[in-house]
Amino acid sequence: MKTKNPRNKKLIILRLLKDILGFYPVMFPAVILCIIFNATISSLPAVFMQNVIALVESSWQTGDWGAIGGRILGFVAILVVFYVLSLTSGVAYNQMMAVITQGTLKKFRIKMFNRMQTLPVKYVDTNNHGDIMSYYTNDIDTLRQMISQSFPQLLVSGVTVITVFSIMMYYCIWLTLVVIVGIAVMLFITKKVGGGSAKYFIRQQKSLGHLEGFVEEMMIGQKVIKVFCHEEESKADFDKVNEALFSDARAANQYANVLGPILNNIGNVLYVIVAITGGILLISGAPNLSISGLAMGISIVVPFLNMTKQFAGNINQVSHQINAIVMGIAGAQRIYGLVDEEPEQDNGYVSLVNVREEGGRLIECNERTGIWAWKHPHGDGTVTYTKLTGDVRLFNVDFEYEPGKTVLHDVSLYAKPGQKVAFVGATGAGKTTITNLLNRFYDIADGKIRYDGININKIRKPDLRRAIGMVLQDVNLFTGTVLDNIRYGKLDATDDECIAAAKLVGAHDFICRLPDGYNTMITENGANLSQGQRQLISIARAAVADPPVMILDEATSSIDTRTEAIVQSGMDALMKGRTVFVIAHRLSTVKNADVIIVLDHGRIIERGNHEELIAKKGQYYQLYTGAFELE
């Protein structure tokens, strides 16, 4: 279910209630029934008070005090029974509400995280990471407060108000009209002041997300900040973001904090007015207009005063929950905004399957044979199998991240199985963009990309990505052992396969020197490892996946010269027999490439091997000789 208008607060609340009911179809209605019962019982003391006072009045007038004690004890006994039942229902609904609240938050976190796994890379590229984290912290917390406190309190207050109002109408319509006028004033002020605070509470949530994003960015970049002595500028930038949060939070809370005292005083004034009105009606001997038909007397006025206080108090309670409701709605809007994000589209139908060769034919099988094929179903019901070889070709590809800003222009190239293709060019030339398109992190605007002769738009994205390995410049290691991080490339890999991959890329020696070897825990993205060691583990991760196509995006840029020499032999072994795309600023690492593609502003301006491009004395020659001179 999606909210047609995500800014419509009523639709957000209805959707939230529907979700909670869906999560707890039995427990949630039981909680509501317990709350209604509890609130109804809390409104009955006024009825008992009226009966007791009427009994005393009657005994005073008749002088018959004989049976009054027993009858009062009877009333008290009934009231005690009701209070015991109320206490039982109160404990029950609070216990169940704790389960519902935490269970609902758990399910929302699951829904958010699961949706995030389906979102395109573009979403992560274009949204502040700290702001995304705020969904799981601040927004979830506001939702917790609204579900666990505000919703039950609103229901309690609503039921109490309705019950007390009904009792008031039953006893005296005149005094009820006085209360209605006072409550109308309270509701008018609540709407005006509460509406003013609502927009600021929503802005406060957004500002809080920006602040968390800024702090996360500063934490990640602490070394850079200190290296460039940027501490004071960072403080100034933080002050601006913090000031914006302060401004929104101050305005929201100023509105909210003034509401309580105003409503309290209106309630006090209303209490006095009801007392004066009741006194006037008693003194004047005016007839009582009521549903009950009871005559105006002390037994009506005294309970009515208590009900007035209870009525106004519950209206005040509702106003106190407005802040939490508004913040909860703001949090729910953001959460549903994430849950409703369009997932990454995948219309592919060609899948990657295990096959065996029999008589020159490819036969699909369940066991792992080491031979893979593309399973291509056709409209006529036939199925063809194309052996996975790693042949990649681009035909007249155009691409733009934003409309009107073309990044690649008419790019055509091919990489035959086993070929090493290197991309060279200045930053922003489009090198990494090509690798993003091969993985379908983004889809091309025009042209075609074929893998083993099959348009990659027809291939299921998980299968396509399983057939392409990547080693990125920015290494991401996850909390777990070294072995776990290597196995990330192939979840069913055995320990021996992971160790063999580490040996292949030259990571085995340093891993064995770690405190617990392959069982050494990695935390905080590998903070306990050097940059080169982290990169070696990421290369081993790609090696254990054993894909026919490998993309190396600045794979050795973070490794020192000595470590690079160690890695290079392993990299050569890793690349042997595979189609490899290499992006490198160190031109010495691409000299042995079969084809070097020189890009400039998204266009291919030169192609050939190292000797051919040097002989042309074009841009590659200038880049290479410039790098050589720098060395």
pLDDT score of 563: 65
Contact 150, 324 (CB under 8 A): yes
Q: Which of 302, 317, 339 is the last residue of a domain?
A: 339
Amino acid 570: pLDDT: 62
φ and ψ at residue 608, rounded to 5 degrees: 155, 180
CB atoms closer than 10 angstroms to residue 451: 26
Nearest CA to 424 out of 567, 631, 623 is that of: 623
Question: Mean pLDDT, to the nearest integer, of 394-423?
Answer: 88
Average of per-residue pLDDT across 14-18: 91
> Is residue 631 pLDDT above 50, yes or no?
no
The reply to whether 316 and 418 lie within a common domain is: no
Q: Is 167 inside a domain boundary?
A: yes
Query: How far is C-alpha 607 from the chain's CA centre?
Result: 45
Q: Are residues 201 and 273 in the same domain?
A: yes
Judgement on whether residues 149 and 182 belong to the same structural domain of the protein: yes
Instruction: Supply the pLDDT for residue 62.
Output: 60
316 lies in some domain = yes
Sign of the alpha-carbon dihedral angle for 38, 43, 46, 48: negative
- The total of other beta-carbon atoms located within 10 Å of residue 360's CB is 5
Residue 629 has a pLDDT of 37
Which residues are bridge partners to 583 per DSSP? 423, 553
For residue 613, give the H/E element and its range: helix 610-616
* Angstrom distance (rounded) from CA 286 to CA 174: 10
Q: How confident is the model at residue 470 (pLDDT cuts 50, 70, 90)?
A: confident
CATH number at residue 565: 3.40.50.300
Mark whether 322 and 409 lie in a shared domain: no
The answer to whether residue 566 sits within a structural domain is yes
Please tell me the predicted confidence (pLDDT) of residue 592: 82
Judge whether residue 496 has pLDDT over 50: yes
* Residues 410 and 540 occupy one common structural domain: yes
Share of the chain above pLDDT 70, in %: 89
| Whether 523 and 415 share a structural domain | yes
**How far apart are alpha carbons 238 and 216 in whole angstroms?**
11
pLDDT digits (tens, 9 = 90+) for 95-143: 999 999 999 999 999 999 999 888 888 888 888 777 788 888 888 988 9
Average pLDDT over residues 190-213: 73
| Nearest-5° Cα angle at 195, 192 to 201 | 145
- Which residues, 6+ apart, have CB-to-CB distance to 358 below 8 Å? none
pTM of the model: 0.75
CA distance 509 to 449: 40
Counted residue by residue, the chain has a size of 631
Q: At what angle do helices 68-118 and 298-339 cross, to 10 degrees?
A: 10
Pick the residue with more confidence: 457 or 307? 457
At residue 559 the predicted structure's pLDDT band, cuts being 50, 70 and 90, is: low
For residue 258, the tally of other CB atoms under 10 A from its CB is 14
Whether 366 and 487 map to the same domain: the answer is no
Residue 226 and residue 151 share a domain: yes
Cα dist from 480 to 333, 507, 534, whole Å:
34, 17, 13
User: What CA–CA distances, in Å, run from 290 to 50, 173, 174, 623?
Assistant: 14, 5, 8, 97
Query: For residue 58, what are its two tokens?
Result: 């009657």
More confident call, 313 vs 409: 409
Predicted local distance difference test score (pLDDT) of residue 71: 73
Here the CATH number for the domain that contains residue 195 is 1.20.1560.10
In-domain check, residue 88: no
Domain assignment present for residue 42? The answer is no
| pLDDT above 50: residue 15 | yes
At 106 the pLDDT is: 92
The 10s digit of each residue's pLDDT in 181-199 is: 888 888 787 777 666 666 7
> How confident is the model over 33-74, as pLDDT tens digits?
999 888 888 877 777 777 777 666 666 666 565 556 667 777
Domain closes at, from 364, 387, 410 = 387
What pLDDT sits at residue 19?
Answer: 92
Quick one: pLDDT at residue 303?
A: 82
Q: Is the pLDDT of residue 493 over 60?
A: yes
Q: Report phi then psi at 51, rounded to 5.
A: -65, -40
- With respect to residue 212, please indicate whether it lies within any of the assigned structural domains: yes
Q: Is the pLDDT of residue 203 over 90?
A: no
Residue 8 lies in a domain: no
20: left (phi over 0), alpha (psi -120 to 50) or beta: alpha
CA 366 to chain centre: 37
When mean pLDDT is compared over 40-44, 199-203, 235-239, 626-630, the highest value belongs to 235-239
| Nearest-10 Cα torsion for 510, 570, 522, 514 | -10
Q: How many domains does the chain have?
A: 3
Report the mean per-residue pLDDT for the chain.
82
Structure tokens at 620: 């590659």
Residue 475 has pLDDT above 50, yes or no: yes
End-to-end CA distance of the chain: 60
Q: Is 418 exposed, middle or buried (0-12, 13-18, 19+ CB in 10 A)?
A: middle
At 110, is the secondary structure helix, strand, or coil? helix
Estimate the crossing angle of helix 9-23 against helix 27-42, to 10 degrees. Answer: 110
Rounded distance between C-alpha atoms, residue 432 and residue 411, angstroms: 13
Instruction: Domain of residue 368: give its range.
Output: 351-387
298 with 355, same domain: the answer is no
Among 259, 43, 277, which Cα is nearest to 179's?
277
What are 561's two structure tokens?
A: 């010269």
Which of 339, 361, 378 is the endpoint of a domain?
Answer: 339
Range in 377-386, 416-425, 561-570, 612-621 the model is least confident about? 561-570
Q: Is residue 500 part of a domain?
A: yes
> pLDDT confidence of 28, banded at 50, 70, 90?
very high
Minimum mean pLDDT range among 1-10, 208-217, 474-483, 561-570: 1-10
| Same domain, yes or no: 239 and 159 | yes
pLDDT at residue 351 in the model: 92
- Give the mean model confidence (pLDDT) for residues 210-218: 77
What is d(CA 486, CA 518) in angstroms, rounded to the nearest whole number? 10
Query: Does the structure show a pLDDT above 70 at 248?
Result: yes
122 and 208, same domain (yes or no)? yes
Rounded Cα distance between 19 and 10, Å, is: 14
Q: Note the pLDDT of residue 630.
A: 30
Whole-angstrom distance, CA of residue 486 vs CA of residue 496? 11
Q: Which amino acid is at 392?
A: V
Same domain, 203 and 325: yes
Greatest Cα-to-Cα distance within the chain, rounded to the nearest angstrom: 127
